Amino acid sequence: MIMALFGATRALVSYPGGRYADKVGRKKLISLGLVIYTVDMFLFGIATNLYQLFLFRAIQGAASGIVWPVATVMAADIVKPKDRGKAMGLFSMMWDLGMIMGPVIGGVLADMFSMSTPFYFTSLLAFASCVLIILRVKETAHRKKDQEIVVKRKELTPYFKTFIGLCFAGFGTSFAMGLVQPVLSVYANEVMGLSKALIGTVFGVMAFFRFVTKPIAGEISDNIGKRIFILTGRTINSVFTFMIIFAKDFLALTFTMALRGVGTGMGMPTANALTTSIAYKENRGKVMGWYSTARNIGLFAGPILGGWAYDNMGKTEPFILCGIIGMITVGVIFFTVFDPKEGLE
């Protein structure tokens, strides 16, 4: 429920945030999101009941929905189209670095001090990030010049079919992720008998392989195209999600999840790079906002269906459903998503 709530509020603010960033600039929106995040993480630390945790998680989703799409656009703005795969690979890799280090540091801080300390520490990190953005990062949206151009360019993107395909792919990827991730820990414990430590190791290995794959896939995609990486990554992810039901021990599950990490690492940065490359600079916030909205709707709906399927259909059904949805997504990508002859500035 908490994961679904995060996805819901993220979906609600992603497009308005992206559109507003096209009007007033990227830097202001990122700074605003980080300010909200700073306050929200502090409030997490002093929360006293479950209802407050739900509220603060919803606010966290909204802050994330403001920061991440706009930050992705800003990263795309500062590089040439031919280097966007590499840039998105490195940018997305930092997210995985946080996913790997965050639980470790949080656990250490909680053991040394209290359960509230990781939230206070995160609040300080968000505040420090906000200060760095304000003082060190230059605005990339030059509105006066862009407003003159936007009069001539009324379309959202000249590659609308690819844009729709990418949005569907983003929805399918996040839907499948949200469908599997919440129930996988329960499945690994109840069905496979794995301890919490081993389950944490499985997720850590997956994150590591995703982390390593992203910059490599991003850079190579600049030379041979994004489409092939999106297709291949999504196929690998779908096949090995289905294969989870055949994993009978810790090593088999770890191997399966590592390959899922490779698939996600191939598809995520290249999809971001292609999305930013089919949009004009003055509309890039809107385009990424719509794409992020599609992804977050999947992140909202996936956990709800996954939890329901696990409780009412069977313990392996969420993984089967996820594999089927993933292959449908691959089919949509195959027929709709194509690399442009050259990316847009």
Q: For 123-175, write each residue's pLDDT tens digit.
A: 999 999 999 999 999 998 765 555 554 445 557 899 999 999 999 999 988 88
Is pLDDT of 327 > 90? yes
Q: Is 147 a member of any domain?
A: no
Specify if 79 maps to a domain: yes
Are residues 123 and 259 both part of a single domain? no
For residue 145, being part of any structural domain is answered with: no
Is residue 149 assigned to a domain?
no
Report if residue 191 sits inside a domain: yes
Mapped onto helix, strand or coil, the DSSP state of residue 137 is: coil
Burial of residue 327 (number of CB atoms within 10 Å: 0-12, 13-18, 19+)? middle
Q: Are residues 118 and 180 in the same domain?
A: no
Q: Please name which of 6, 297, 342, 344 lies closest in space to residue 153, comparing C-alpha atoms.
A: 344
Residue 224 lies in a domain: yes
Question: Can you tell me the mean pLDDT for 174-195?
Answer: 88
**Domain with 304 in it: what CATH number?**
1.20.1250.20
Q: Are residues 111 and 212 in the same domain?
A: no
User: Do residue 213 and residue 314 come from a single domain?
Assistant: yes
Mean pLDDT of the region 198-205: 88
263-300 pLDDT tens trace: 999 999 999 999 999 998 889 999 999 999 999 998 88
Judge whether 241 lies within some domain.
Answer: yes
- The predicted-structure confidence for 168-182, as pLDDT tens digits, reads as follows 999 988 888 888 888
Task: Map tokens 């999840």 to a residue.
Answer: 257
- pLDDT: which is higher, 343 or 315: 315
- Looking at the structure, do residues 196 and 303 belong to the same domain, yes or no? yes
Do residues 38 and 173 share a domain?
A: no
Can you tell me the distance from the alpha carbon of 183 to that of 97, in angstroms, rounded to the nearest whole number? Answer: 23
Task: Tell me, yes or no, whether 213 and 309 share the same domain.
Answer: yes
The pLDDT of residue 151: 45
127 plus 172 within the same structural domain:
no
**Same-domain check for residues 189 and 116:** no
Q: Are residues 13 and 119 in the same domain?
A: yes
In a domain, 110, yes or no: yes
Whole domain around residue 167: which residue ranges?
Answer: 160-336
Residue type at 115 in one-letter notation: M
Confidence (pLDDT) at 176: 83
**How many C-beta neighbours within 10 Å does residue 78 have?**
11
Please tell me whether residues 260 and 294 are part of one structural domain: yes
Does the pTM surpass 0.95? The reply is no
Residues 121 and 211 in one domain: no
Q: What is the DSSP string of 85-107?
A: HHHHHHHHHHHHHHHHHHHHHHH
**How far, in Å, CA of 239 to CA of 229, rounded?**
15
Split into its structural domains, the chain has a count of: 2
